[in-house]
Amino acid sequence: MEKVLLRNIGVPDSHLLATYQSRGGYASWQKVVSSMKPEQLIEEVKASGLRGRGGAGFPTGMKWSFVPKDNPKPKYVVCNADESEPGTFKDRLLIEQDPHAIVEGTLIAAFAIQSHTSFIYIRGEMAFGAKRLEQAVQEAYGAGLMGKNVLGTGYDIDLIVHRGAGAYICGEETGLLSSLEGGRGWPKVKPPFPATHGLFGCPTVVNNVETLATLPWILERGAAAYSAMGTEKSKGTKLFSVSGHVAKPGVYEVEMGYPFKKFLEEDCGGVANGKKLKGVIPGGGSMPVLKPEELEKVNLDYESVQAAGSLLGSGGVIVMDETTCMVRAALNLGRFFAHESCGQCSPCREGVHWMEKILHRIEHGQGQKGDLDLILNVAGNIAGNTICPFGDAAAWPPGAFIRKFRDEFEAHIAAGKCTVTH
């Protein structure tokens, strides 16, 4: 399979403009800015079938088309580089190794909605990545690829790299916008949606790093080439960051629809040390865990993973072998989400911590009869009832862990200790 996203990874000095341009970089941007109409560009991306790679999988071209053309306010594109889902590290690879692809993709998206100021919002902890992006932006300015009168076309575009202060919720698009506006990283109620009332109340598109980095290839090779890859509803390729008890952890690019079992066993070398597989979280820490039998026929595309009872999400594949204590795993995730709950809306603010405390009690041998049903009930009361999807993200993992490994949880409570590792 031809690499769309990882094509420059591993090339010496892949982060430099000269290297990027020597491999055809910015040709798509030149083509877009000098010869395409925004509507034409949007149609091309729609035709490619590209869906957002941040987790929700919303069609990218359609998202752009929601931006009103007749709104006189400034329009913004914000590249969401606030990656921080447990188990997800695909964007970081692109940010550090192929920053110009992100810059070029952001410029293309900006042109699609006729934005003249756009942003790359990067997680504060990614200091090295931020440096690489800032360097890439400066190089692009120096080459006249952005700024005033880009390549003599009359189009002006400024791109600003903004470092966040480090909060998971700032990866949620409206929380990101609040943070970018200088406020507390709190999600906003929708409607209104960012497409009409986004950054500073202006029309805004927020796209994930991977989504934007895909655009140069699509514009270079054409929508048909991209949509020829993948499945009927999940087009193209996707990055998967693989971690946990796996022989070859790392970031992989595969065609959508790639069989998971083959991916795990052949591409990733299978479960490490010859151990048996116990469970896999297929889409980052917020997604429900799947048991080995549920993974038998799963393919790596949105629909297939959903049919199995989980979601593709960000593509953060977390592999757990037979030695994994699922109580501890659930607590580990619960602790993360409790720490990262922004505290804005009642169910998430109070409920996520409550679940974590109960899990903590079970893990430490103080579990009580009824704890599992209580967690399931609390999780059910959180999911779907919060301002942003964080509530779902925090509620799904413990719910899934308990439903799928209930025996192990019950044994843990009964024994007052882990029955897997002790």
Q: Which of 18, 127, 189, 224 binds other proteins (CB under 8 A)?
A: 189
Q: Give the distance, in angstroms, between the CA of residue 154 and the centroid of all CA atoms in the same chain.
A: 34
Q: Which stretch binds other proteins (CB under 8 A): 216-224, 227-235, 242-250, 385-393?
A: 385-393
Nearer CB in complex with other proteins: 99/367: 367
| Residue 170 in contact with other proteins, rule: CB under 8 A | no
| Residue 357 in contact with other proteins, rule: CB under 8 A | yes
Nearer CB in complex with other proteins: 117/381: 381
| Residue 345 in contact with other proteins, rule: CB under 8 A | yes
Residue window 359-378: x/- pattern of binding to other proteins, with contact defined by CB under 8 A:
--x------------x----
Query: Closest separation between CB of residue 353 and other proteins, Å?
Result: 4
Q: Which of 177, 327, 358, 402 binds other proteins (CB under 8 A)?
A: 358
Query: Closest separation between CB of residue 190 and other proteins, Å?
Result: 8
**DSSP characters for 269-294?**
-SBGGGPPEEEEESSSTTSPPB-HHH
Using only the alpha carbons of the chain, give its radius of gyration.
22
Q: How many residues bind other proteins (CB under 8 A)?
A: 29
Please give the structure tokens belonging to residue 371.
Answer: 């704890």
| Residue 386 in contact with other proteins, rule: CB under 8 A | yes
| Residue 343 in contact with other proteins, rule: CB under 8 A | yes
Nearer CB in complex with other proteins: 90/123: 123
| Residue 335 in contact with other proteins, rule: CB under 8 A | no
Query: Closest separation between CB of residue 80 and other proteins, Å?
Result: 20
List residues bridging with 318 in a β-sheet: 243, 281
Nearer CB in complex with other proteins: 71/346: 346
In the chain, the N- to C-terminal Cα span, in Å, equals: 44
Query: Closest separation between CB of residue 356 and other proteins, Å?
Result: 9
Strand-by-strand arrangement of the 117-122 sheet: 158-163, 117-122, 76-81, 204-208
Q: Check residue 57 and give left, alpha or beta (phi > 0: left; psi -120 to 50: alpha).
A: left
Q: Which stretch binds other proteins (CB under 8 A): 67-75, 173-181, 318-326, 337-345?
A: 337-345
| Residue 342 in contact with other proteins, rule: CB under 8 A | yes
Query: Closest separation between CB of residue 176 and other proteins, Å?
Result: 16
Query: Closest separation between CB of residue 286 and other proteins, Å?
Result: 16
Neighbours of 201 (CB within 10 A): 13
Burial class from Cβ neighbours inside 10 Å (0-12, 13-18, 19+) for residue 336 reads buried
Strand-by-strand arrangement of the 237-244 sheet: 250-255, 237-244, 316-321, 277-281
3-state helix, strand and coil shares in percent for the chain, rounded to the nearest 5: 45, 15, 40
CA dist., res. 39 & res. 113, Å (int): 9
Q: Which stretch binds other proteins (CB under 8 A): 113-121, 193-201, 308-316, 351-359?
A: 351-359
| Residue 381 in contact with other proteins, rule: CB under 8 A | yes
CA dist., res. 49 & res. 185, Å (int): 31
157, 113 contact by CB (below 8 A) = no
Please give the structure tokens belonging to residue 422.
Answer: 């002790």
Q: Which stretch binds other proteins (CB under 8 A): 3-11, 64-72, 245-253, 347-355?
A: 347-355
Nearest Cα residue to 49 out of 40, 39, 58, 41? 58
Q: Which of 167, 177, 268, 413 binds other proteins (CB under 8 A)?
A: 167
Binding site for other proteins (CB under 8 A): 167, 184, 189, 191, 338-347, 349-354, 357-358, 361, 374, 381, 384-387
